[in-house]
Structure formats: structure tokens, C-alpha cells
Chain A
């Protein structure tokens, strides 16, 4: 029986992109259901009652949520094009860095986007410090996964598109080629991968959305 795969996502969710990339890298067919988060579908609420968020992967009627949990599920269910290394220590490292992206890097980058003045001035070095850890960890490899992209690359992947957009919207340069040469090169290599190139949401639409997020967060309280 062919696998029935559905992905609940929004057009702009970077977490949903992780799932799309993983499924396509493994050559899997799936149906996409785009959600309007201001009017969540009954199906989404049924499939993810705890968080009520995207992405959700539904495999033969069984839902899995939380993007890194979904990635592990995909990896364990379909063996082709492995995303995690075989060695347990290397796997632990890959997971560590993916977790670091979500628990440290992400918020520090968001902080730069949604603040201004002194608060933003304080946020920038924190984001750069987290990026520095990533820079060091790349250690001259093309990807975290080695010659091909893997689990950590997929977890970090949103930065390749979102960081330049955040830089454009805020006017703040986070990734200078001379201070972050490895990340700069990684971003280029990552974006060159066909599956990645094919799936970015439209650039201008993303800029508008990111701009909108910044404005909404900076608006004086009580206006929204």
C-alpha cells in the first residue's frame, strides 16, 4: 500500500520547510495542506491539539508534530538518503546543534528583528555570539552533514534565506563574509542544493512579512 503523507503548513513557516526538504530529499510523495493560522482548520486542531501549530506530518492518518520530532520520524521510517550519521556520537552532535538552533540561535535572531535602539544594540552581539558557535562547528566542511546536507543543515537552513531578509529589513549586517566566512560559504552551498532552491517561498512576499512582524512588535502597546 502506498504511504499516504500529508503536510500541514503555511507558505511562510521555516519549520514546515524543514519537513518539505526532508521529504523531497528522500524522494517521498506527499500532499500539502496550507493553513491560514488566523482560521485554523478543524483537522489541524484535531491533529495537533497540544500546540495547534504547523507543521504537522500525517502519515497514514497518524499525526506527528514538532519539526525536529517529525524529522527524526521521517529518518527512522524511510532509510534512503540518510539525514543523520550512523555513529551515535555524531548523531548526538547533529541533534545538539539542531537543538541549539531552535533554543538559542532562533530567539537571538528574532530579538534583533523585533527591537530597536538600545535593546537592539544589546541583541546584535548575542545573535553574533550564537552564530560564532555555528561558524566554529562548520570546521571547513561543506555541510554539517559532510558532503551532502543532513539533519543539522536542515535545522539551520532557514537562516540561509531569513538572515539576509532580516538584515535587509533592519539594516543590520549579521553575517559579514570576513567574520563568518564558513557560514557565508555554507549558505551559498546550501542554497545551491536543488531541493532547497526549489522550495523557498517568494522573496518579496517574505520581506513584506518579516517587515510586518517587525512593525507589529515595535508598535506602541494597545494599538493591536
Chain B
């Protein structure tokens, strides 16, 4: 591997997408320099490294930027392939892993987000959809403790934050999205992932994250949330 400027990660403390990448790097034991963005004031570096989306996270490896969190994780898994492989070896299992990570981003996230930003009847509709999607995500576990099987893998680090975030949203809007009775396996899974010391160590402080999101909610709805 070429020696160079090493690995840098442009992130933000409350960004779940940056969190995924940190989990990947830490599980693989990769040294990196973390650069915290001062959102909403996006740095020149971020804009230069991700001109298309202007978003974080961005991984910079020996000066070369890689954007889009799931792609960053695949990149990291390919470059450091011997260290704690995140994707399974078998192409069929890899396809399943990519499918569920994509499902998390394309179905679970928008539904939880829509629950967060809407009100009244519309919110009820979105909350129901979010619960259904989380239930579908649970089916991807196929009865295993983790999506990666016996150990945490690609889907686990891609999807775990949705469990955290759905709980936060649920608390703010007072709707139970992650229901222990309806999704016992998903809840057990989430607990299992968050018990991992490496995972736990990276988590942003719970209260700070809750307040941060409460702030967003107040801004979005103009209401005083309890």
C-alpha cells in the first residue's frame, strides 16, 4: 500500500452516515484523522472533495476523496480486505447485504424522517410505514443475531443507527416506532450491536443527540416539543 497522507474522515458528530464509516474504520482497526465539519458552514475542503453532493461523510485516502457512506464502507472493505471483513465472501450473501443496506436507506430512513417532519394524520400514515419497513428489515436477520451472522458486518453498521434514531424520533413525536413487542428480533439485534465496545465507544452522547434533534423538530414544526 502506498504510504502517503493516510486516511482522513470528514464527519459531523450527529451524522449517522459519518458514524457508519467510523464504525467500519474502527472495527477494521484503521488509523485515521477525523475532521469535524462546522455545519452548517461547510468547509472548502468538503466542497472540494464532494462537489456533486456537498455532503459528508467523505473519506480521503492518500489525497483521493470517496463519498457516499455505503460506498466508502465498501471501499474500505476492499482496500483493507484482510482486516475484519465487513461484507461476506459469498456473492449471494454479499447481494443480500447490499440489498438490506439499500433498503435501510431507501425505505426505513425516509419513512422515519417523514414521521419526524409531518403532523397529524399524515404523520400517523408515515409512522405506520416506518414500522412496517422496520419489521421488513427485521426479516433480513433471518433469525441470526446479526445481519453479518455471528459477528457484526456491513448491514449491522449500516442499519444500527436507524434503530437509535427511530427511538429518538419516537420520543420526540411521541409515537413508538421501534416496538419491542412487534419487533423483538430487531430490538435484540440493536441491543447486541450497541453492546459491542467499539460500536458503543463511537456513539454520540445520547442526551446531546436527543436535544439536537429536538432543536430540529422545533425548527421544522414551529412547535414547542416536550
Contact = CB atoms under 8 A, between A and B. Distances in A.
Interface of A: 50, 59, 62, 64-66, 69-70, 72-73, 76-77, 88-89, 91-92, 95-96, 99-100, 104, 133
Given A76-B94, A99-B68, A133-B52, A66 B99 contact: yes
16 contacts: A50-B99, A50-B136, A62-B92, A64-B92, A64-B95, A66-B98, A66-B102, A72-B98, A76-B94, A88-B78, A89-B64, A91-B78, A92-B66, A92-B72, A95-B68, A95-B74
B61 interface: yes
Nearest to B62: A89
Interface in B35-58: 52
B91 interface: yes
Given A50-B136, A133-B52, A88 B79 contact: yes
A73 B95 contact: yes
A100 B52 contact: yes
Contacts of A99: 68, 71
A136 to B, nearest CB: 9
B91 A89 contact: no
B134 to A, nearest CB: 13
Given A50-B136, A69-B98, A91-B78, A96 B71 contact: yes
B103 interface: yes
A72 to B, nearest CB: 6
A89 B75 contact: yes
The 3 lowest CB-CB distance pairs between A and B, nearest first, are A76-B91, A88-B78, A73-B95
B18 interface: no
Given A89-B66, A95-B74, A96-B68, A77 B52 contact: no
Given A96-B67, A96-B68, A88 B95 contact: no
Contacts of A69: 95, 98-99, 102
